[in-house]
Structure 1
Amino acid sequence: MKKFWVALIAVAVVAGFALSASAADVKFSGSYYATGLYADNWGLKDDASAGGVYAQRLRVATAFKIAEGLTLNTRFDALEGRWGQYGYMGTAVDRQGHDVGGRDADDNNIAFDRAWVSFAVPFGQFDVGRQAQNEWGTRFASDSFDAEAIRFSTKNGPWEVGAFYEKQIEAYGAEDYDNVVSDGGVNDGDRDNYGVYGKYKWNGGLAGLQIQFMNDATENFANLNGDGDYKAKIWTFSPYMQGTFGPVFVEAEINYAYGEAESELDWDDMDIRAWNAFIHAKGNIGPAYVGAFYAYVSGDDPDSDEEIEGSNFFGASGYRSGLPTGGSIFDPCLILWGAYANKWLGDSTARALSLGTDHHTGAVMENAHLFQIYGGFKPIPKLDVQAKLSYAFADEKPDNYDDDEYGTEFDLTAAYKIYDNLTYTVGFGYLWAGDIYKGATDNDVDDTYLLMHRLDLSF
């Protein structure tokens, strides 16, 4: 707790100086959630065990209005972890209860994620510092990453245009801040992102286009196929639209990544051609609503050695910056690509290891087609009961796999607003697991179910 009080005092001191110097207006916002999750057979095999966990996160954002048009913004997360993770005396423990952090480990449970200054100029606004990155368009394909950046935006009537530069990674450690690879190549180790965008609003709708160029010389694209280090240069084109037409809301988004991974040695370069797509419609019928969507993320073709078509290339699951995924904000199901369940119960990596297979149904959607229909009913304004039926299969089947089906999932949730800013949700999810989890083996695959409840506070 010591670090919490130090952080709180620091914020208070900054606020005090700002208030005394310029009578700053300080605004706080944020969220807190506490969730309980129980899963049976999370490992998707006959002898997989059942178990549960409670977890939480506090997120606080502050905006110090120093003067008209000038604001200092910060955001931090605190106490993010499993209940009992820090022990009853502040000692961090693992899932088996072993001491892993020593006494006072909870002093390190505050993480300042963002700090940036916003200031207006006669022709627009600048945002400078560590801020949100890759939050564009719909919730699909968006992330909640942080990066140091310089952003400029300006508005004129229904139009908004802007440009930005992001320093995502600055590597160092060798002469001239270069990383010298063992084979004699040189890799500068940085990742820089440049972009421009435009948006147009009309009554009931919004459309936009963003174009980015990423120069990635980190280890993100190192040692492709064992062929030494590569630098990736990627252009990404991202159009989207959202609109309400009578009782129907429609949205769609496409992200297309085009570029090349250039060898630092004498190996052949590799073309990058990856994309994703999303289309969603929802209609209101009195107190009820129905909707459906299709989401797609291209997978890497295992037979194309000189082209990268998806973020799962070479069977490597995880973020590949610059290559389209479903994004960490997209949370379509309770189990398949479910953010809470995969974060706190363990994502597909653990399940894949337990089965000896390789698949991509963790917290971020990769290499997949996903179809979903859903419907809900609000018997009273504070209660929302919703059912979802989803079906997913892989875009590209890995080598030696006999099946591409991730499975069919049914989810049922009920959310009740205790207060306008406090919601309690209970849910049940069941996954009829597909045979892609068998991989290239004869492992038996069994279904799984999830029980959850969650308390969400926003302020």
Structure 2
Amino acid sequence: MSRFLKIMIVLLTIAAVATPVMAEDRLSLGGEMRVRGWYLDDERASEDYTSSFMDQRLRIGGKFNIAEGVSVTFRFDETESAWGDQAGYGSGRFVDGTDRPMQWDRAHLDITKGMFHLRAGQQFLQFGNSAFDAQDNGLVLNIKGSVPVTLFWMINDNNWSEINTKTVYSSKANYNSDDYYFGAKAGFKADTTAVEGYLAGQTGNGEEVFVVGANGKFDLSAVKLEAEFEYFTGDAAENVDAIGTQLFVDASVAASEAFTVGGQLYYALGTDKADEAQYYCLGNEFGGWDSMFILGTGLDNEKAGMGRPWDLGSALGYAGNTGIMAVRGYASFKASDDMTLSGSLAYAEPEEDSNTALDSAILVALGMKYNVMANTSLGVQVEYKGISADETSTMPSDPTVLTAGAGLFVNF
């Protein structure tokens, strides 16, 4: 046996022994695999529309602990598509309809030194339920203390890019200002209380919109309270003002160890003025908040639901800038150690109805979550939207929407 071959065998042996140790010490992995089925019956179309399909997603995330106070985090979604989307060629050949092998949504480094924590790269950040919500590239600085402070700056769209400098270098008239997100928040947490105030901005290409707000959560043993308020102002575009005033209140009571009941109030100001536009959240809304249909099944904020409800007309497919006035009641019952049943009922109206055919809506949701075995659950959810509205050129009067979903989830 040659000397070179002997050296290679020794090196491979060392690598085989050292690699698992390094992976255990420096790399931690986690994620989720889900397979879901959906059924949709939507009367808002000119002809009654029904659809049923299956989809799946494998999500994997990990963290490299490089040194004390230094880490790198990643997360990606693989095979995130409906079954059969590959036009008969087989999902092993074309991974999804966008011709992209996977979606990388987290890729950032974290440095912690003393009272400072810096996160740089592609990351998710949210203020409140509806003030700011974005997944993008940027910098977030957390400053620890009796009142922790968070500062952030993100680039949403770089209009002075390397590509632009090569293709339109001689024509500066083609350059637009970059689009930015930025803001700050401060707050404190105690055993039963968490309160924070925040402000954020969104600018670029004629848009300059700001939000200021606050969120408070109070845990009073059997009673839990949450309240949130936001105010939006600025310029949506040239000669168009940004407006938005919204309030959310949630109260729940644990009537027993197995039964919980709660209620919510929603109010958001709409507008019928042509030179005003309603805002209810800054950012790209990566995280979402489908509050009218949250039941803990894992099936809200997805193929079903309606998203953030603050502009009720837009959320239900009608003309927007309507605002909302709504009440919602919900309940959950732990039928056994492994099964939880839940449901909710909401009534909503536009705050400003002069510019929309929508009069009101009744929103009903029923759900079930069953823990099949360790880290494995089955979720089922049914949603109904009963809409009271005048007939439009694209939708009939008083349509209904029925959606049902079931999903098998494995967390690891």
Q: Tell me the TM-score range normalised by the shorter chain.
A: 0.7 to 0.9
Give the Cα–Cα distance (whole angstroms) in 2 for the partners of residues 179 and 18 of structure 1. Answer: 51
Q: CA offset at residue 52 of structure 1?
A: 0.8
Q: Show the 5 A alignment for 1:46-445.
A: 47-86=47-86, 89-90=89-90, 104-106=94-96, 108-133=100-125, 135-138=126-129, 140=130, 143=133, 145-157=134-146, 159-172=147-160, 188-217=176-205, 231-261=206-236, 263=238, 269-286=239-256, 287-299=258-270, 301-302=271-272, 304-310=273-279, 321=282, 328-333=288-293, 339-342=301-304, 359-361=314-316, 367-397=323-353, 399=355, 401-405=356-360, 407-435=361-389, 438-439=391-392, 443-445=396-398
**In the alignment, is the contact (CA less than 8 A) between 1:153 and 1:162 conserved in 2?**
yes
Rounded Cα–Cα distance in structure 2 between residues aligned with 1:18 and 1:136: 39
Query: Matches of 2:26 and 2:392 in 1, distance apart?
Result: 58
How far did residue 307 of structure 1 move? 2.9
Give the distance between the partners of 2:199 and 2:294, measured in 1 at CA.
Answer: 32
| In 2: Cα distance, 1:177 partner to 1:258 partner | 36
Q: Relative to 1, partners in 2 of residues 1:413 and 1:105: Cα closer, same or farther, differing over 3 Å? A: closer
CA contact (8 A) 2:132 2:283 kept: no
8 Å contact 2:292–2:363 — kept in the other structure? no
Would you tell me which structure has more strand in proportion to its own residues?
2
8 Å CA contact 1:360, 1:366 repeated in 2: no
Helix, strand or coil: the match of 1:171?
coil
Report the TM-score, using the length of structure 1 for normalisation. 0.72
Consecutive unaligned residues of structure 1, counting only runs of 5 or more, are: 1-12, 93-102, 218-230, 264-268, 312-319, 349-357
Quickly say closer, same or farther: Cα 1:398–1:27, change in 2 above 3 A.
farther
Give the letter aligned to residue 135 of structure 2.
Answer: D
Unpaired runs of at least 5, structure 2: 1-14, 308-312
> Does the C-alpha gap of structure 1 residues 394 and 73 become closer, same or farther in structure 2, counting only changes over 3 Å?
same
Q: Tell which deviates more after alignment, 380-389 or 61-70.
A: 380-389
Post-superposition offset of 1:91: 5.7
Distance of aligned partners of 1:24 and 1:366 in 2 relative to their CA distance in 1, 3 Å threshold: farther
Structure 1 pair 216/329, CA: closer, same or farther in 2 (3 Å)?
Answer: same
Aligned length: 381
Share of identical aligned residues, percent?
19
In structure 2, relative to structure 1, the CA distance for the partners of 1:386 and 1:275 (3 Å cut) is same
Provide the secondary structure at the position in 2 that maps to 1:339. coil
Structure possessing the higher radius of gyration over alpha carbons: 2
Alpha-carbon offset, residue 441 of structure 1: 7.7
Q: Which amino acid aligns with 1:382?
A: D
In structure 1, C-alpha distance between the alignment counterparts of 2:363 and 2:143, rounded to whole Å: 44
Q: Is the 8 A contact 2:259 2:334 kept in 1?
A: yes
